[in-house]
Amino acid sequence: MIHIFVDFEMNIIAKELFDEIKDCHMEIIEIGAVAIDEKLQEIGSYKCYIKPQYNEHIMPRYVELTGINDDMVAGAADFKKCFFDFLDWCGSFGGFKGYTIYSWSKSDLDQIKRELKFKKINTEQHKVKWMLSHWHDYQKEFCKLIGLTHPISLNRAVNSLKQEFSGNMHDALCDAKNTAKLFVTAHDKERFEELVKPLKETINQDSNLTCEIGEILNFDKLEDSNTDTDKQPDVH
């Protein structure tokens, strides 16, 4: 089974489109994905920009967040074409029933479901149904692995394993690759447990879990603690 990690970047629907914005607040403007085989090796990557239908411009806050501007999507295909192109790419590794798909948080799945409905794309097609029914929230899975009951950002998750975030945050392909990196690291169970041991110990010190996530994931303090006990893992 192939593992596909995907991320979407989005832009808001124009605020003057009152009826549309009630049904679908955002539109996907970038898809980024990476495929990992059974041996946990990267076997392919995917990236495309999408021209929004319900806003003539990428709004300034999303330009700043994602780095995507009007010129970058001006010549891009529409959502329907890009979505089915992405589906075909997913199926190219062994058929449309040959993969599972992951994103960092449930929001990407919620968005794709909402946008497919809003843009009247038939979700009963077999390859669409397969994708939607084999979608995993890896943020939830990862937090469970490290003993957190609250979600954390992708960047903090990467940092929790003493790793550097690769590339630019909120670039769809970079986010997908970093999610895949967490997945691969977690499957090396011995190394993973060594990496997250100080974090789990910090969490367990507060049995009521009343501290803030930012306090739990204060990696400077964890590093000091590791140095004191001479058990700091070597991740370089």
Give pLDDT tens digits for 28-74. Answer: 999 999 999 999 999 999 999 999 999 999 999 999 999 999 999 99
Whether the Cβ atoms of residue 98 and residue 2 lie closer than 8 Å to each other = yes
d(CA 99, CA 8): 18
Q: Per-residue pLDDT tens for 172-226?
A: 999 999 999 999 999 999 999 999 988 887 776 654 444 444 444 444 443 333 3
Look-up: residue for tokens 């692995």? 145
Residue 166 tokens read as 């690769």
Burial 181-205 (b: 16+ CB within 10 A, else e): bbbbbbeeeeebeebbebbeebbee
The CATH number of 2-141 is: 3.30.420.10
Q: Using CA atoms, how far apart are residues 216 and 148, in angstroms rounded to an integer?
A: 9
pTM here is 0.85
Q: 10 Å Cβ neighbour count for 224? A: 11
